[in-house]
Amino acid sequence: MGKPGDKFRCTGQPCGLGHFCIGGFLAALLRIREETDTTIILIAHGFSSVVNADQIIVLEEGSVSTIDVHEELMKTDNWYSKAFRKQHWAVLGSEAG
């Protein structure tokens, strides 16, 4: 583990981790953050990786369009809320089938 104040960057889901393993990976990141006061920058394509983040930075066409937490981003009609709902319904549809 790092020293207090260290920064850690993870770009997406690590190779080889399946859907069920990602929960353990995220739990480990949260533990590192809490125990070491480390800033974690997680670049993700899936929403399950970021919904509990302290801050979500949404990029559109290479520029920052929104910065907030999941709950606040879901209250307005923006790229994040639209994409989250689309992915959420896609998952529900695949689980129902």
**Domain 7-96 in CATH 1.10.10.10:** no
CA separation, residue 38 to residues 21, 51, 62, 67 (Å):
22, 19, 26, 20
Asked if residue 24 has pLDDT above 80, the reply is no
The answer to whether 4 and 36 have CB atoms below 8 angstroms apart is: yes
Model pTM above 0.85: no
CA-CA distance, 49 to 38, in Å (whole number)?
A: 17
Query: 79-89 pLDDT, tens per residue?
Result: 999 989 988 77
Query: 56-73 pLDDT, tens per residue?
Result: 988 888 889 999 999 999
